A and B are shown apart, each in its own frame.
Chain A
Amino acid sequence: METVNRYPRGYICRIAFAPGGDPVPEITNVSAQPSVEVLMKVRESNSSRDTSSWSFQGQVIALAAKLFGNFRQWLLLQLTTNDNIYDLNLRFLQDTVQFIRTGQRLTSVQNWLEMLAEYPDARPGCAGQQRADAFDIGDTHEFDDFISMWCSKEGGFEDMLCTMNVLFGPTKSTAKAR
């Protein structure tokens, strides 16, 4: 059976694939992706030596490759199947795609984190192909090298890590309580 994790701000991530595909995946609500939490703690410890080391950066890149897998497929999963993503939580995805493409964001990831809904209820029927069309992601190869596209932008590595924290990290109250 295909297994999907849902994180606090409603974003989902496939963690096991069913052979041949399963139309009804099993969705598990989880509090956070543990490695994202660990890497954010290292970042928040404000040790520039730690965060500029290849060891740290390599872990972040490996985690991005693992969590997103094929970035376009991951994005399509949110847009076409995830009824818990809408309003600003959907707009954040659009802003992230814009950052990967242009290096420009509407506002900082930190500001988005403060604004996004946590544990959003499902709005049945809001996900669908029309949302994917609005994202203009028809080019199937555009995001083949999404990590290098992302990290090559000014502040891109930091943006990628903080974006993973928004997508797969804990609630704000959990993060603040640490």
Chain B
Amino acid sequence: MELPRWLASILPQFGKATVLEDIKAELKQLREVTVPVMKKYASMHGKRKFKNAWVKDIDARFDKRLKARYSGNFIVPVAEAMENAIVLLEIAERVVGDLPHDLVRDAMSLRAANAIQLIETVTFAQKYTRSLMLAAMAFEESEYGVDSADDVKVGDLRKIESNLDSYIQAIDILSLSEKEVGKKFEELPDMTVNRDSVPVAESTIGKGKTDPFKFGFIPVRWNPIYYVGIMLAEWHVQNLQLAKDEKDMLEFKLIQLEEAEKGNPDNAALQKRVQITRDRIERLRYKLDQEGMLDNGNR
């Protein structure tokens, strides 16, 4: 989201401790859930030649649009970006930790603004990664006779497709090296901005200098902590639970695809686990949606 719009939409004020707590929760989710499961995917299917047309199309769009170079299919740069996100969040943690006071919307330092948008990019990319992988595996295993029609809801698919370009942009940002990101933060001028002063600031320091990561190209906002006053602890607990259920589901999908490839697409016990976990994920997503705690990019 472009900086003036972003500054206009966030809460008037939030504590430095809140942001640090948010970073800690994102790091926990990355380390315990997203990175381990994506490493498994990359090692097992990173060189896979997909059979399903929808998955092939996703792979082709990554190939065409992602600037970061990789070998294998799109699972590889996604897994690498998720692992790299840990290092980048640690940089954001240091930037926020060095701020002299809490964050105020009308006098936001450029470093703070970029750090928070980096955190949001990680939040978005983590959620999207798990949704994308669940959909991709469901489509792919359907080519081997697995009845996975219920595993991808139309609404989820629509969200995946409508946000794919933003996601690829996010993966590019999260593929930047520690050195590149550190340098971008260091080179940010030590100045504060508000929604009205960004154009003036840009005329002084140069166009685009307020947004060196190009967060402006990611039009959605994903972390309600910075937009609506919600219970921080509850948000993190619910999201971690959802992430863990999605991780279980992704692991079941790995096993299901492997079994299907061996000519055994109908393992009843496995299908039952998939169904139970899918129902739990749907319930939790619905609950978070109802409570306004899950931003799906529809705002």
Q: Which residues of A does B touch, CB under 8 Å?
A: 87-88, 91, 104, 106-108, 111, 114-117
Q: In the assembled complex, how far is the CB of residue A117 from the closest CB belonging to chain B, in whole angstroms?
A: 6
- List the one stretch of B72-80, B95-103, B250-258 in contact with chain A: B250-258
The residue from B255, B264, B267 contacting A106, defined by CB atoms under 8 A apart: B255
Q: Kindly supply a per-residue 1/0 record for chain B positions 77-99, scoring 1 wherever the CB is within 8 Å of any chain A CB and 0 otherwise.
A: 00000000000000000000000
Minimum Cβ distance to chain A for residue B271 (Å): 10
Cα(A91)–Cα(B258), bound, Å: 10
Question: A104 to B273, alpha carbons, bound, how many Å?
Answer: 21
Q: Is B28 an interface residue (CB 8 A)?
A: no
Q: How far is the CB of A76 from chain B (nearest CB, A)?
A: 22
* Given A107-B248, A111-B248, A115-B273: A91 and B40 interface contact (C-beta under 8 Å): no
Docked pose: A111 CA to B248 CA in angstroms = 8
Closest to A114 in B: B273
Tell yes or no: B269 within 8 A of A by CB: yes
Interface residues in B254-280 (C-beta closer than 8 Å to A):
254-255, 258-259, 264, 267, 269-270, 273
Residue from A87, A107, A117 within 8 A of B251 (CB atoms): A107
Give the shortest distance, in Å, between B50 (CB) and chain A (any CB): 20
Q: 9 shortest A-B CB distances, which residue pairs?
A: A107-B251, A115-B269, A115-B273, A115-B270, A114-B273, A111-B248, A106-B254, A106-B251, A117-B269
- A88 and B251 contact, CB distance less than 8 A: no
Interface string of B7-34 (1 = CB under 8 A from A): 0000000000000000000000000000
Establish whether residues B273 and A88, one from each chain, have CB atoms under 8 Å apart when the complex forms: no
Q: A111 contacts B270, CB within 8 Å?
A: no
A87 and B264 contact, CB distance less than 8 A: yes
Q: In the complex, A116 Cα to B259 Cα: how many Å?
A: 13
Given contacts A87-B264, A104-B40, A106-B40, whether A111 and B269 have CB atoms under 8 Å apart is no
Residues of B within 8 A of A114 (CB): 269, 273
A107 close to B269 (CB less than 8 A): no
**In the complex, A88→B269 CA distance in Å?**
9
Q: Which residue of B lies closest to A104 (CB)?
A: B40
Interface residues of B in 106-129 (CB under 8 A from A): none
Q: Tell me the residues in window 126-175 of chain B with beta carbons closer than 8 Å to chain A beta carbons.
A: none
Candidates A87, A107, A108, A117; contact of B259 at CB < 8 Å:
A87
B40 neighbours in A (Cβ, 8 Å)? 104, 106
B41 to chain A, nearest CB (A): 11
Chain B residues with Cβ under 8 A from A111's Cβ? 248, 251-252, 273
Question: With contacts A111-B248, A114-B273 known, is A91 near B255, CB below 8 A?
Answer: yes
A108 to B245 alpha-carbon distance, docked (Å) = 12
Contacts A88-B259, A111-B252 aside, 20 further interface pairs with beta carbons under 8 A come to A87-B259, A87-B267, A88-B269, A88-B270, A91-B258, A106-B251, A106-B254, A106-B255, A107-B248, A107-B252, A107-B255, A108-B248, A108-B251, A111-B248, A111-B273, A114-B269, A114-B273, A115-B269, A115-B270, A115-B273
